[in-house]
Amino acid sequence: MTTTHSVNSIAVRGLRKTYGDKVVLDGLDLTIAAGEVFALLGPNGSGKTTTVNILSTLLPADAGTVEVGGHDLEDDADGIRSVIGVTGQFAALDDLLTGRENLRLMADLRHLGRTAGGAGVDDLLAQFGLTDAADKPVSTYSGGMKRRLDLAMTLVSTPDVIFLDEPTTGLDPRSRRDLWETIAGLAHSGVTILLTTQYLEEADQLADRIAVLDAGRIVAEGTAGDLKKLVHGAAVRLVFTDDTDFDRAAATFPDAVAHAAGRRVDVPTDNTVRTLREALSRIESENLELADVSIHTPTLDDVFFALTGHRPASEGPGTEAADQPVAVDQTTTHSEGVPR
Ligand SMILES: Nc1ncnc2c1ncn2[C@@H]1O[C@H](COP(=O)(O)OP(=O)(O)OP(=O)(O)O)[C@@H](O)[C@H]1O
């Protein structure tokens, strides 16, 4: 992942799109630096694909300004098209052709000579782990192979900016992880990537910065770490067997956040053994009966829920999801990652 960025590669101001009465994008602002991997994270229908379609010149906006790779959308859409590659949610491949033929066709469409295109095609097949399958019809490929080939198609013409619209939707967890590795490799090459995703874990793994999109508005923006700071920090999570003990525990720990529905008390912790021991010895001295105890560290899922009030799509493996709302810590003073 590239971490030093200077020139802006994408600049969007006040982007609006409506369909009839329905406001799909409600004044979107985005600034993405050259070489940055930026994730637009939002649930179904939040406006991710609409944003990508407008930025890649496929769809007109109602208002706002867009600049991609130094080209203004209104004055120079062709300029934008010359510097971008787009991978959509549904692989745009010809199933009857082989992987190699698909790539050659793309090279021809991009007016890259047979020789240059041909050399590039072999490199791309190798880079995306498709050499062995190169001469088999795409109809025989797995979902993950199709996505890799689709990504390779966007690289035939070495774009400066790549839009990846939900690149791993529909893939099994292993293929998703394989594709993450491929995308991370691309990011190392210095290309700017705007990625849309419903998966918090995906944004966390791949992106330098994340914007949380909800109903056409960006509700928070920053690094994964910045966003996690928007919710309360780590907690010793105590769950009680009955309401009486829960009420007494809530009174015993005045700094804690109590959730009556789950008879759960989250006691803030600095993640040291000492605070855990203190919490447990107070439980013991008050003679309270615990059903469960665990350490909870905030996840992007908590951030998402705290900001939008609803859960995102189901996650890939290994992502913890809290079962109750986590209060947003509005007192955060970090310069980035502030709720908008
Ligand atoms: N051509 C259209 N006419 C009317 N409404 C549309 C049209 N295209 C999109 N929408 C609506 O705009 C909203 C945003 O759609 P968009 O596809 O941008 O969301 P998304 O975040 O990409 O969601 P998904 O993950 O489902 O693709 C949705 O409510 C969708 O129904």
Ligand 1, pocket residues at CB < 6 Å: 19, 22, 24, 42, 44-50, 198
8-228 and 235-296 share one fold: no
Report the C-alpha gap between 114 and 95 in whole angstroms: 22
User: Where do runs of H (alpha helix) occur along 155-242?
Assistant: 173-188, 200-206, 224-228
Ligand 1, residue 46: give the atom nearest the CA: 21
Question: Per residue in 224-233, pLDDT tens?
Answer: 888 877 776 7
> CATH classification of 235-296, choosing from 3.90.930, 2.60.120, 3.30.70, 1.20.1050?
3.30.70
Query: What ipTM goes with this model?
Result: 0.96
Q: Is 103 left (phi over 0), alpha (psi -120 to 50) or beta?
A: alpha
What rounded mean pLDDT belongs to the chain? 82
Which ligand 1 atom is nearest residue 42's CA? Answer: 21
Query: What residue ranges do the domains of the chain occupy?
Result: 8-228, 235-296
pLDDT at 192: 94
Does the structural domain 8-228 have CATH classification 3.40.50.300?
yes
Q: What residues contact residue 238 under an 8 Å CB cut-off, 6+ apart?
A: 249, 264, 265, 266, 267, 279, 283, 290, 292, 293
Q: Identify the pLDDT of residue 78.
A: 92
- Average pLDDT estimate for 280-308: 85
Q: Which range, of 54-58, 82-86, 263-267, averages the lowest pLDDT? A: 82-86
What pLDDT is recorded for position 112?
A: 59
pLDDT exceeds cutoff 80 at 338: no
Measure 128 CA to ligand 1 centroid, in angstroms. 31
Determine the atom of ligand 1 nearest the C-alpha atom of 53: 18
Q: Give the strand pairing for 235-240 and 264-268.
A: antiparallel
Confirm if 221 and 246 have CB atoms less than 8 A apart: no
Q: Which amino acid is at 209?
A: R
216 C-alpha to center of ligand 1: Å? Answer: 10
Residues 245 and 289 sit within 8 Å (Cβ to Cβ) = yes
Residue 3 has pLDDT above 70, yes or no: no
Single-letter code of the amino acid located at 195: L
Q: What is the pLDDT, as a whole number, of residue 327?
A: 34
Nearest CA to ligand 1 atom 7: 19
Give the pLDDT band of residue 139 (cuts 50, 70, 90): very high
E-strand spans in the chain? 8-19, 22-33, 37-41, 63-68, 71-72, 84-87, 161-165, 192-197, 209-214, 217-222, 235-240, 257-259, 264-268, 290-296
Do 179 and 168 touch, CB atoms closer than 8 A? Answer: yes
Q: Which residue has the tokens 């009857």?
A: 96
CA of 44 to the centre of ligand 1 (A): 8
Q: Which of 50, 56, 49, 53 is nearest to 77 (CA)?
A: 56
Above 70 in pLDDT, residue 317?
A: no
Q: What's the Rg (C-alpha) of the chain? A: 24
Q: Do 167 and 175 form a contact (C-beta atoms < 8 A)?
A: no
Tokens in use for 123? 């490199």
Q: What percent of the chain has pLDDT over 90?
A: 42
| 155/62 Cα distance (integer angstroms) | 30
Alpha-carbon gap, residue 24 to 234, rounded angstroms: 35
Dump pLDDT digits (tens) for 177-217.
888 888 888 888 889 999 999 888 889 889 999 999 988 89
Measured on CA atoms in the order 120, 123, 126, 131, is the torsion positive or negative? positive
**Residue 16: pLDDT band by 50, 70, 90 thresholds?**
very high
The pairs formed by 282-286 with CB atoms below 8 angstroms and a separation of 24 or more are: 282/252, 282/253, 283/238, 283/249, 283/252, 286/248, 286/249, 286/252
50 exposure class (CB count in 10 Å sphere: 0-12, 13-18, 19+):
buried
Spatial CA neighbour of 195 closest among 7, 6, 8, 10:
10
**For residue range 63-96, what is the model confidence (pLDDT) as tens digits?**
999 999 999 999 999 999 989 988 876 567 889 9
Nearest CA to ligand 1 atom 4: 19
